[in-house]
Chain A
């Protein structure tokens, strides 16, 4: 067996060290990463993947901890990928989501991995999607992804998760603006956490009001739930809703949903592949560097330069 095969084998048998190493290999985009993902891919598709997003301070990590506990009580195994931002200046990151879940870390039915965004946009890391596949292939029943939570448009999560939960809390300031600004469309379920605060009902009503603006006929109307993560209040109800959503996906939506997801993933993969192989060729020729110089000197604009390069690259490919 090659090393990659061995690693893949370890993942499939649910061996913790292998799962951890496999995620590192993917994160680092090591040479064997592609082979690894392709060898585990046939074994994925069994887990239900849930995304949690929403502004910082909403209590996502605490809520996730409670949800994981509830799933464990129901006999399910769980994987968690928690994403934190990478500093664009230093390239370093401080990964602190795990702290809310540390008591779960010694439960053999739970695997938690912290992940730096490494400047990938949209609230997750480039490797998040494949890390989820690793946990799926390793036999986790549920895989939870926690996004960066910087309050910006963290819409990438829909490419990864089947059920997206958007978490809010009363008193976070202009969080309702944030919902309007983009994450409204991605939510399958809304949660107003810290619902023991006095203005929680207002937050619920605000969200409902925005939802009513969207009067498209859909099979699934995103519910708005209340939770108190600190005490676990409302968590069973949330899980019930997630389960309902999963069943609906299974019945019919699933096909559509998974086709869309597959399409998006394929396009993404093509982009990545095309860019890296074209770039590689261009850099070898030296023309790339030359054009960069010309752009700097304002002799040519970037779009025209790209056209020029691509024409040549495609011709080369045909030849």
Chain B
């Protein structure tokens, strides 16, 4: 039997908004690119997202938010991930995040922010290139 490493991704939607078209399209594209995608549905609290990432041992987390609450919720998520020792997980974000907030989000440890209209190809490529190398 050979080793069969798969990339595990958590697509998570914090915030109360219900715009999941983007999250679902991205989830599907990553799945079709051969990854195992965990999607936990709408309205996840920062605690649920961090705990899911921990239990599911994901390599990558994609956060999607369109409600405008990213400035409140992302810091809490990143903080919880740190507390749980998940510093080697790559986190990217998507949705409606004004350009002037992007720097601030990156300072929190979010590696990339994809705006509306980003081709899924680019996100797939990004994930493939940024999966943490773990043993």
Question: Do A and B come from the same complex?
Answer: yes
Which residue numbers of A lie inside 8 Å of B, CB to CB?
A: 3, 16-17, 19-21, 23-24, 27-31, 86-87, 90-96, 98-99, 102-103, 105-106, 111-114, 116, 118, 272, 276
In B20-63, the 8 Å CB interface with A consists of 27-28, 30-41, 44-45, 47-48, 51-52, 54-57
Give chain A nearest CB distance to B53 CB in angstroms: 9
Q: Check B4–A28 contact: CB distance below 8 A.
A: yes
Task: Rank and list the top 7 A-B pairs by shortest CB-CB distance, nearest first.
Answer: A92-B31, A20-B57, A99-B41, A91-B34, A95-B38, A24-B57, A92-B34
- Of B4, B35, B41, B57, the residue contacting A92 (CB under 8 A) is B35
In B80-109, the 8 Å CB interface with A consists of 84-85
Give chain B nearest CB distance to A278 CB in angstroms: 13
- Of A28, A87, A98, A272, the residue contacting B38 (CB under 8 A) is A98
Q: Check A17–B85 contact: CB distance below 8 A.
A: yes
* Closest chain A residue to B27, Cβ basis: A94
Known: A16-B55, A91-B34, A106-B51. A96 touches B4 (CB 8 A): no
Residues in A neighbouring B31, C-beta threshold 8 A: 87, 90, 92-94
Known: A20-B54, A105-B51, A106-B51. A93 touches B32 (CB 8 A): no
Report how far A17 CA is from B34 CA in the complex, Å. 25
Q: Is B72 interfacial (CB-CB < 8 Å)?
A: no
11 contacts between A and B (CB under 8 A): A27-B4, A31-B3, A90-B34, A92-B35, A94-B37, A94-B39, A95-B39, A99-B40, A102-B41, A114-B38, A118-B4
